[in-house]
Amino acid sequence: MAENSKKIVDQGTYGAANIQVLKGLEAVRKRPAMYIGDTSARGMHHLVYEVVDNSIDEALAGYCTRIVVKIHKDNSVSVEDDGRGIPVGDHPDYKDPPKSALEVVMTVLHAGGKFSKDTYKVSGGLHGVGVSVVNALSEWCIVESSRNDDVYSQEYIRGVPKGPLKTLGIKRKNGTLTHFKPDETVFEKRDFSFDTIGNRLRELAYLNKGLSISLIDERSEDEFQKEDYYFKGGLAQFVTFLDENRTSLLSKPIHFEKERDDVPVEIAMQYNDSYTDNIHTYVNNINTVEGGAHLVGFKTALTRTLNSYASKNRLFKKEGFSLTGEDCREGLTAVISVKVAEPQFEGQTKTKLGNSEVKGIVESMVGESLSEYLEENPSVGKRIIDKAMQAYRAREAARKAKDLTRRKGVLESGGLPGKLADCSLRDSEFTELYLVEGDSAGGSAKQGRDRRFQAILPLRGKILNVEKARLDRILSNEEIKTIISAIGAGIGSSKSDDERDLFENGENGGFDIAKIRYGKIIIMTDADVDGAHIRTLLMTFFFRYMRELIEKGFVYIAQPPLYRLSKGKKEVYAFDDQERERKMKEMGDGKISYQRYKGLGEMNPDQLWNTTMDPERRTILRVTLNDAAAADRIFSTLMGDAVEPRKLFIYRNAKRVKNLDF
């Protein structure tokens, strides 16, 4: 008893007074990452999307036709729309003291019109925390609501009203203007990217045909940068845009748009001369990067419909033959958009649609619409089947090559003599694989590494450009086979219980993240043109054939220093010209010599470890996939056959280039 009493006394410092209650928006400011993911540039840009989503919801409800987003000189952002404006009357639940509906929306979590289907039939922002979170994480925020020929305004400082709602005494068309500046005490950097915001706004304009969206950047000293996004053709134009750098097989995209059981479905698809599929899915304008019910319904219907059409029209040479899903999707670009009143999201990032009823709706709609289209356009149908048959023949040729790349068959048979310097640990949570440019740098990395958890794979020259090759040719490339074998997770589409058609006929292939041998795949190349090219080739390969590596954060890029500075016995490193100048000033007067590294091979093993490989001191960049459509377009531009788009890209981005070696 005495011992138990002593324990109670010892725990006495933890009592009711220790239970902290965060009021209002304090919780958001205390744990911002819980609401916007992180406080990096990605999280800061998310603030813009939250405000824009409110305007998009007004467009979905039929009340908004134009949205204007401005990046101001002070890196604040304003979003203006011509919707109904936020209600400004007193809210019935706040009487002592009274609060306007606008103030409630801006300062109370889970407050908004999106929970009532009388207000919004469908909505992108489902949790009602969007604009209040933006307000909480802003240094200041000003909201103006135009309703009934009056303009009402309220200003907030870090989420707290600076004063009551006031009338400005001016007349303006109905709408909402939200102007905010991210809080410097929350975000690491406050520098908005025109391209990042523009990619999302373009995407929204395609998904909401007839909606006009403008992006204006007032920070340029010469003239404002401006882009207008307006697409009357909607998803059909989206597919054309995505395939702009490829050769299309059809004169125009196939396009369906129907509503069934109160679920509007719009799909556009086009076949091209590439060797991978490129399918993007959306629910209420949310990019469902992990797919879900609507994607499964589409894939199932596509495979069944094409096989049925080919059999019926005797396009197969063998009786009882059928194409796989992979065959039917080679060279396919498609965009699927559904609007669901009560979407259920699941998956690691909550971007996978779980509504089972949507699978049947999409499956039946695609089956009916595509069958009807093919019957009316037999020449198109024959072209699609011919493309799928070519894919089938290439897949058969690749089967043996794929077997050779499996880790058990290659690694245990000595398929990597002298190339892969493996680590002793086997737990992928702790292991790292460095893909190193050249044998010289590979030798330094092998000597300088920590053998317990760091594996080194030197690459000789440039790997094959997978953007221009089918899988059978890709798997005959020695460097690529070595990479696949070392990583150990296979190649191709990810395994999924909902997508069994990827692995029919007893094939054991496919990418399986559970079999990965290393928790970090680190690309380490020289800081020159050739090094950049090799990085791009590797990134293209991962994006096309091991995308889950990128989606789940396994891929990194090493950041070796560009300069070594020395003064007497003191030695420091600089990663760019600006850092070199700063460190030279810090080192003070006297003779300071510096060496510019032209390649990793010039660094001694200890230098490579100290600057680039030591987890305690190195800087590595994690490769993320925020916008799959934009990434696809970049890779097809840089690595595809079309020359003119690549020249235009280089011309537009030439001024951003630093440290260019010839």
- The CB density around residue 24, as the number of other CB atoms within 10 Å, is 14
Q: What is the DSSP string of 30-67?
A: HSTHHHHS-SSHHHHHHHHHHHHHHHHHHHHTT---EE
Tokens read off for 481? 């086979």
Q: Does residue 72 sit within a domain?
A: yes
Backbone angles phi, psi at 237, to 5 degrees: -70, -35
Do residues 374 and 417 share a domain?
Answer: no
Same domain, 547 and 434: yes
Residue 655 in domain = no
* 20 in a structural domain: no
| 125 and 204, same domain (yes or no) | yes
Residue 389, CA atoms < 13 Å, CB-side half-sphere: 14
- The DSSP code sequence of 119-150 is T-SS-S--SS-HHHHHHHTEEEEEEEEEETTE
Residue of 256, 278, 277 lying closest to 337 (CA atoms): 256
Predicted confidence (pLDDT) per residue in 252-301, tens digit:
999 999 999 989 999 999 999 888 899 999 999 988 888 999 999 999 99
Structure tokens at 278: 């490129």
**How far is the C-alpha of 423 from the C-alpha of 384, rounded, in Å?**
47
CA distance 629 to 192: 20
- Identify the active-site residue in 155, 227, 499, 528: 528
3-state DSSP assignment of residue 81: strand
Find all residues with CB under 8 Å of 368, minimum gap 6, and list them. none
The answer to whether residue 414 sits within a structural domain is: yes
Helix (H, G, I), strand (E, B) or coil at 547: helix
Catalytic residue among 80, 82, 266, 437: 437
* Domain co-membership, 171 together with 65: yes
Give the number of other CB atoms < 10 A from CB of residue 481. Answer: 20
Q: Tell me whether residue 528 is one of the annotated catalytic residues.
A: yes
Structural domain contains residue 611: no
In whole angstroms, give the CA distance from residue 112 to residue 123: 11
Whether residue 103 lies inside any domain: the answer is yes
H or E element at residue 566:
strand 563-567
CATH number at residue 161: 3.30.565.10
* Pair 549, 491: CB distance under 8 Å: no
DSSP E strand boundaries for 332-490? 332-338, 345-346, 352-353, 432-437, 454-459
Q: Which residues pair with 138 in a beta bridge?
A: 182
Domain containing 495: what range?
406-560+623-628
H or E element at residue 367? helix 356-376
Determine the pLDDT at residue 469.
Answer: 84
CATH code, 386: 3.30.230.10
Share of the chain above pLDDT 90, in %: 46
| Whole-angstrom distance, CA of residue 131 vs CA of residue 111 | 10
CA angle, 310 as apex, 306 and 313 as ends, to 5°? 140
The 10 Å Cβ neighbour count of residue 536 is 17
Contact 503, 490 (CB under 8 A): no
- What pLDDT does residue 122 have? 62
- Whether residue 553 contacts residue 546, with contact meaning beta carbons closer than 8 Å, is answered with no
| Arithmetic mean of pLDDT over the chain | 83
Residue carrying structure tokens 């690491």: 188
Q: Indicate whether 369 and 431 sit together in one domain.
A: no
Reading the block at residue 336, the tokens are 């699927």
CA angle 262, 54, 80 (to 5 degrees): 135
Considering the domain architecture, whether residues 135 and 183 belong to the same structural domain is answered as yes
Residues 86 and 157 in one domain: yes
Of 217, 526, 627, 632, the catalytic one is 526
Specify whether 183 is located in the same domain as 300: no
Residue-wise pLDDT tens digits, 66-88? 999 999 999 999 999 999 999 99
Catalytic residue list contains 437? yes
Residue ending a domain, among 173, 199, 229, is 229
Q: How far is CA 590 from CA 283, 436, 568, in A?
A: 63, 37, 9
Q: Phi, psi at residue 241, to the nearest 5°?
A: -65, -45
Look at residues 468, 549, 507 and name the one whose alpha carbon lies nearest to residue 275: 468
CB 178 within 8 A of CB 50: no
Q: Are residues 354 and 425 in the same domain?
A: no
Asked whether the beta carbons of 449 and 613 are under 8 A apart, the reply is yes
How far is C-alpha 223 from the chain's CA centre?
30
- CA atoms of 159 and 79, how far apart (whole Å): 18
pLDDT for the residue numbered 121: 60
Give residue 126's pLDDT. Answer: 42
Give the SS3 label for residue 433.
strand
**Two tokens at 469?**
């090759």
Of 173, 198, 229, at which residue does a domain stop?
Answer: 229
Q: Helices 628-639 & 194-207, crossing angle to 10 degrees?
A: 110
Q: For the chain, what is the domain count?
A: 4
What is residue 494's DSSP assignment?
B
Of the residues 530, 576, 579, 602, only one is catalytic, namely 530
Angle of helix 293-312 relative to helix 378-405, nearest 10 degrees? 110
The answer as to whether 660 is a domain residue is no
pTM: 0.76
Residue 463's CATH number: 3.40.50.670
Spatial CA neighbour of 198 closest among 258, 241, 161: 241
pLDDT beneath 70, residues of the chain: 1-24, 110-129, 222-223, 347-350, 400-418, 493-509, 627-628, 630-631, 635, 637, 639-662
Is 222 one of the annotated active-site residues of the chain? no
Residues 135 and 190 in one domain: yes
250 and 325 belong to one structural domain: yes
Structure tokens at 211: 């909606």
Together in a domain, 157 and 200:
yes
In a domain, 93, yes or no: yes
